[in-house]
Amino acid sequence: MSKFLLHNQTSERLLFRKLKASDFDDWLPFYRNPKSTQYWEGLPKDPVEACKAQFDRVFERYENNLGGMNGLISKESGELVGICGLLVQTVDNITELEIGYSVLPKYWRQGFAFEAAQNCKEFAFENNFADSLISIIHVDNVPSQKVAQKNGMYLDKTTTYKNNPVHIFRVNQG
């Protein structure tokens, strides 16, 4: 298991665990909502194909110790709320650790992305995984930028990542 996974970690409302193949149908509504992916170019147009591609990447990361998304499970309902995790990423030829997060549309605007991202930040710094962490966010994705800022991140630079214009938000340890 990747050292970057928050398996069995908890926050106030969430349990973190490895994503499972059986989570696919629960995560599919993310791709069925056009607003979820409206900013990102290059994704498969078919929701099932887009979801399959993401799950393939998640499991590939697990196998290659490149971090990965954790399933975020509501302690209250036991339902999948979203995914969040520490991801080894290369941006502008620099390999760094990213806090990535996505939440199912029915749980938007309830603070789950921030709660999960904050937990990832604390876990990474407590374990001294990196001196700083980034979040790669499309320049038009204001809701995700607000999560990053609330998580203590600042806009470090703007660049291109996977053919998308992105802001790189950063938070330093200490």
Instruction: Identify each DSSP E strand in the chain by its residue range.
Output: 14-18, 67-74, 80-91, 94-103, 132-138, 154-161, 164-172
Q: Which CATH number fits domain 14-130: 3.50.4.10, 3.40.630.30, 3.40.50.280, 3.40.640.10?
A: 3.40.630.30
Is 100 within 8 Å of 161 (Cβ atoms)? no
User: What are the residue boundaries of the structural domains of the chain, listed by start?
Assistant: 14-130
| 20-70 confidence digits (pLDDT tens) | 999 999 999 999 998 888 888 888 889 999 999 999 999 999 999 999 999
| 150-166 confidence digits (pLDDT tens) | 999 999 999 999 999 99
Beta-bridged to residue 158, according to DSSP, are 167
Burial class (CB in 10 A: 0-12, 13-18, 19+), 127: exposed
Residue count (the chain): 174
As given in the structure block, the two tokens for residue 27 are: 């995560």
Is 98 within 8 Å of 86 (Cβ atoms)? yes
Please tell me the pTM assigned to this model: 0.93
Q: How far apart are CA 6 and CA 120, in angstroms?
A: 7
| 2-21 confidence digits (pLDDT tens) | 789 998 999 999 999 999 99
